[in-house]
Chains A and B, each alone.
Chain A
Amino acid sequence: EPEVTQTPSHQVTQMGQEVILRCVPISNHLYFYWYRQILGQKVEFLVSFYNNEISEKSEIFDDQFSVERPDGSNFTLKIRSTKLEDSAMYFCASPRAGTLRGEAFFGQGTRLTVV
Chain B
Amino acid sequence: GQQLNQSPQSMFIQEGEDVSMNCTSSSIFNTWLWYKQEPGEGPVLLIALYKAGELTSNGRLTAQFGITRKDSFLNISASIPSDVGIYFCAGQGGSEKLVFGKGTKLTVNP
Contacts and interface: CB of A to CB of B under 8 A. Distances in A.
A108 B37 CA distance: 10
Contacts, number: 62
A109 interface: yes
Interface stretch (A11-19, A36-44, A71-79): A36-44
A45 B44 CA distance: 16
B84 interface: no
Interface in B21-80: 31, 33, 35, 40-45, 48, 50
What secondary structure prevails in chain A residues at the interface with B? Answer: strand
Contact of B50 (A42, A102, A109): A102
Interface in B72-110: 88, 90, 92, 95-103
Interface string A28-56: 00010101000001111100101000011
Contacts of A33: 96-98
A108 B45 contact: no
B33 A56 contact: no
A18 B10 CA distance: 37
Interface residues of B, number: 23
A101 B99 CA distance: 13
Given A41-B102, A106-B42, A108-B42, A55 B33 contact: no
A42 B100 CA distance: 6
B75 to A, nearest CB: 20
A104 interface: yes
A101 B96 contact: yes
B92 A102 contact: yes
Contact of A106 (B31, B44, B96, B99): B44
Given A56-B95, A107-B42, A108-B41, 9 more contacts: A33-B98, A42-B88, A42-B100, A42-B103, A45-B97, A101-B96, A103-B33, A103-B45, A105-B45
Interface of B: 31, 33, 35, 40-45, 48, 50, 88, 90, 92, 95-103
A-B pairs, top 5 by smallest CB distance, nearest first, are: A106-B42, A45-B97, A48-B96, A43-B100, A42-B100
